[in-house]
Chains A and B, each alone.
Chain A
Amino acid sequence: MGRKEMVAMLLAGGEGKRLGVLTKDLAKPAVYFGGKYRIIDFTLSNCAHSGIDTVGVLTQYQPLDLNRYLGIGSPWGLDRRDGGMAILPPYVKQKGGAWYKGTANAIYQNMGFIDRYDPEYVLIISGDHIYKMDYEKMLEHHKKTGADVTIAGIEVPWKEASRFGIMHADDEDRITAFEEKPKVPTSNRASMGIYIFSWHVLQRYLIRDEASRHSSNDFGKDILPAMLKDNLNMFVYPFKGYWKDVGTIESLWEANMDLLDDSPALDLTDPEWRIYSVSPNRPAQYIAPSSRIVSSIVNEGCMIEGEVHRSVLFYGVQTGMDSIVRESVVMPNARIGRDVRLYRTIVGDGAVIADGVTIGHPEHGGVTVVGSDEFIASYKTLLEVEPS
């Protein structure tokens, strides 16, 4: 088997607890986004466009749907003779098996997979974020700075900084301090959870970390601080552009709404950087004479008879006559009856909203979620409780 310069390890085992019913039967990376995609499509498409042809996908939580979706990686050009995509769930060894205890442990358990390709570098990414990035440029940066570790960093709003791993760096982008989710952030430079390690360095730290009984086996909490303590060459790769962690219902909804501006910050139409996904192969959408669609994105196979404003409709969605869908996200194959009002609602795939239902409020209120395959009976009103 050929040697690979860089192998990508994609952490896709996240449960996404804060996405509530949307991740009841689904790993977070498999959650739907943007009318056509699943969250993981963005990182996989980034790999494809960055010339990375060997990707290990580490799965753990609710992997069935995700595994079926990924298949052998064909949509992302990862069905390759050498390398390609490998799905890496936790497995049983001679001395017993164990779940992945943490992000670092997940890589530790798959050191054998990486070693097969004898790579110089390992790229660690996760299937939880929406962004477009050329990892090849990041690798160039890693080589140029002579780093042992390169962490992609982005400036986030100060009020959100405590949700992220926060970095301090000097004028040459050399990392001087790293703190995982600090209560009182002292910098707004956040780690994007994208790391390039020189493999022989990472290997050493993974083994050491595994031997330590007090470690939580996590990159942000254990590995990176240990490396910093040992004065390794750690650099920030500054990233400018759209990047969003869609870990909560609000942020998932917001990220979908971000796509609806007339010139959105995340351009899905760029022919040079297509986001690949599994095509559902549905006919072109049918827009009835009675319908009106404004500031929205609508996918194949939809049949629209009502009004749609500032909304994202996935494939195979039907909306009935006299219905109004506003500031909502409707996932695949959901059916919306006649005379329905949806305001700021996320409708899970396959859900049925019967005639006359009202969900949310046109003027105020947060985001309401209808779970996958849920049925909302006729003339019911679900109002999001007003924030007090």
Chain B
Amino acid sequence: MMKNKVMGLINLVHEPDELEGLTANRCPATVPFGGRYRLIDFVLSNMVNSGISRVAVLAHTKYRSLMDHLGSGKHWDLHNRQSGLFILPPTSDDAQDLRRGDLYHMFQNRDYLMRSHHEYVVLARSHVICNIDLEPVVAFHERQQADITVVCKKFSSTMPGKSRKVLMDAAGRVLEMQDHYGRLNTEYMSTEIYVIRRELLLELVESSLAQGQEHLVRHAIMTRLDQLKVYGYPFDGYLGMVNTLESYYANSMQLLRSDVWKDLFFRPGPIFTKVKDEPPARYLEGAKVSGSVVANGCIIEGTVINSVLFRGVHVRKGAIIRNSIIMQNGVVGETSMLDYAILDKDVKIEQGRDIRGAAGSPFVAGKRKII
């Protein structure tokens, strides 16, 4: 039912990005997360699991790793005759044009939106990680006869990251929205997942641009809350806003709770990613691993506590890793100590090093660094 009615549009234009070194050479969408995923896997899988079979990705900057990761879309089952994955990179390489807002980029790709026959578009961002069935959201949207439905989540004091605030009345109608720095007193935030009629989206893009507006949510939607029927759909599963380094670290550490691990990766659907042919993880004689998430291809000879190990990480004898995140193919040398560290891909820690960050500000090593 969703297949011919709803299409997905993942908007990577000006994604909020305070991920520091993690996005030095990649866009937020392809920041590695959870041992084997990239951030964009969550929204893509949600769409596919909800029955959406056509997804466009509005790419913006630093998207080489994105093209590599997405490929033909077959890992998300988006490589079929009737459906598919469409990557829409910027149509101009002019720096001035690149700086313009998402409305401009959508306008540049309006042909794609016009050619589609789907009634609705689900708009989403890649930095919001959750596991959600979108079919009830679309049903809610139709039931409310809404112009726009925004999926909302109750704020929780423990979750960092920056998110928009949403104020609803008792019936769920959105009265006001503010950017993260706003002082609006509300218990709900926006998950940046919006359901909108395709034709209304096209209309908003054109009319807002004509009025000199640049950004879809901030301008086209937030300034029209009195003209449009915007409803909030409350979502109560696990959700992480991964747009700051602090929230990246905190959300990674949340995975070490078994309930979060199950919620995020299994319920209601599985999260898909590009498949690699790594062998299963090997725990050798001296391995001591507890409270951790470990991906395939790891070889563990040392101690790993309260940490996330991505694919192909090698922890050598006597090494002790605590409260850390080690990305693909990292090597931690013999008797080295790591505490509160994030190692990007292919980082090599030589023998006997002692590296410590702090809970609030983890130590970050850039890709391919040797320490």
Contact = CB atoms under 8 A, between A and B. Distances in A.
B279 A297 contact: yes
B293 interface: yes
Given A36-B280, A285-B281, A269 B297 contact: yes
A287 B297 contact: no
Interface in A47-79: 75
B292 interface: yes
B347 interface: no
B168 interface: no
Interface stretch (B95-103, B176-184, B196-204, B283-291): B283-291
B86 interface: no
Contact of B285 (A262, A274, A277): A262
A288 B287 contact: no
A17 B61 CA distance: 58
A279 B266 CA distance: 16
A310 to B, nearest CB: 10
A250 to B, nearest CB: 22
Contact of A36 (B279, B285, B289): B279
Interface string A295-308: 11111100100001
A388 interface: no
A290 interface: yes
Nearest to A35: B280
B308 interface: yes
A292 interface: yes
A151 interface: no
Interface residues of B, number: 39
Contact of A298 (B275, B277, B283): B283
B276 to A, nearest CB: 8
B280 to A, nearest CB: 4
Nearest to A41: B277
Interface in A302-357: 303, 308, 312-313
A297 B35 CA distance: 17
Interface residues of A, number: 36
A287 B294 contact: yes
A258 B270 CA distance: 33
A377 interface: no
Contact of B290 (A281, A292, A296): A292
Main secondary structure of the interface of A (DSSP, over half): loop
B289 A269 contact: no
Interface string B254-289: 000010011001100011110101011111111111
Contact of B296 (A288, A290, A291, A299): A299
A23 to B, nearest CB: 23
B330 interface: no
A303 B258 contact: yes
A375 interface: no
Nearest to A45: B277
A298 B273 contact: no
A283 interface: yes
A293 B275 contact: no
A107 interface: no
B34 interface: yes
A297 B272 contact: no
Contacts of B272: 281
B283 A295 contact: yes
Contact of B293 (A36, A277, A284, A293): A284
Interface in B223-267: 258, 261-262, 265-266
Given A284-B295, A287-B293, A299-B296, A293 B283 contact: yes
A312 B308 CA distance: 21
8 shortest interchain CB distances as A-B pairs: A284-B35, A35-B280, A283-B265, A289-B291, A268-B279, A284-B295, A299-B280, A279-B275
Interface of B: 34-37, 75, 258, 261-262, 265-266, 270-273, 275, 277, 279-297, 299, 308-310
Given A282-B270, A294-B283, 13 more contacts: A35-B280, A275-B277, A276-B277, A283-B261, A284-B36, A285-B294, A287-B293, A289-B290, A294-B287, A295-B287, A299-B280, A299-B281, A300-B295
